[in-house]
Amino acid sequence: MKKESVDERIMQTATRLFYSQGYNLTGINQLIDEAGIAKPSLYNKYRSKSDVLLAYLDRQSLTLFNALEAHLAKIQGARNKIIGVFEFSITGNQASNFGGCPFLKIKAEVASSEKVVLDRVLTTKNRLRDLFLQLVTELEDKKGFSDKALADMFYFMLEGSRIGASITRQNTDIESAIETIKKII
């Protein structure tokens, strides 16, 4: 078996297990068994379960932003792209069966002393916030809001409505946020 194929099996299995049952409830032996690999194969690539977690977070972030950027590339205009971020979240919720944000799920599981892990989560969230800021700077009419205030508002609306959607298992909160955005910009 090629090294890439072993790594891919580890990442696919870690993605499924960490997202569906949680990082803390996933044991390293379960990960190895379900990936169908030998223990040395895992430890040739990763020193610990924490290293697998960091690779998982990096992969989740890369996958998220590649898909989001591809989605937004089809949309014209900053206003429509801002709405497009919310529509992308609706699609993501449906695809994950309203499983919630993988980054917030991990953040909820790790101790505050896990700085490297928490920094990965923060980096992803800040990248999303920066995307809103970039789009807001392209808007013509900001209704008197500063770029930062408007970008923060959209970021908070997205995060809050996504959490609401994962709780209610409906996209109603995100749809409501979209309607509010259409009134603001």
Q: What are the tens digits of pLDDT across the range 84-117?
A: 999 999 999 999 999 999 999 999 999 999 999 9
Instruction: Please check the confidence at residue 3 and state whether its pLDDT lies above 70.
Output: no
What's the DSSP call for residue 39?
H
Q: Give tens-digit pLDDT for 124-176.
A: 999 999 999 999 999 998 989 999 999 999 999 999 999 999 999 999 999 99
- What topology is assigned to 48-184 in CATH? Tetracycline Repressor; domain 2 (1.10.357)
Residue carrying the six token digits 């609706």: 90
Domain assignments of the chain as residue spans, ordered by start: 1-46, 48-184
The pLDDT of residue 38 is 94
User: pLDDT tier at 4 (50, 70, 90 boundaries)?
Assistant: low
Closest alpha carbon to 180 in 144, 162, 152, 153: 153
pLDDT (average), residues 30-38: 96
The pLDDT of residue 1 is 46
The pLDDT of residue 5 is 84
CB count within 10 Å of CB 4 equals 8
- What topology is assigned to 1-46 in CATH? Arc Repressor Mutant, subunit A (1.10.10)
**CA–CA dist 139, 181 (Å, integer):** 13
Contact between 31 and 14 under an 8 Å Cβ cutoff? The reply is: yes
Give the burial class of 109: count Cβ atoms within 10 A of its Cβ; 0-12 exposed, 13-18 middle, 19 or more buried.
Answer: middle
Q: In the predicted model, what is the mean pLDDT of the chain?
A: 95
1-46 and 48-184: same fold? no
pLDDT (average), residues 20-38: 96
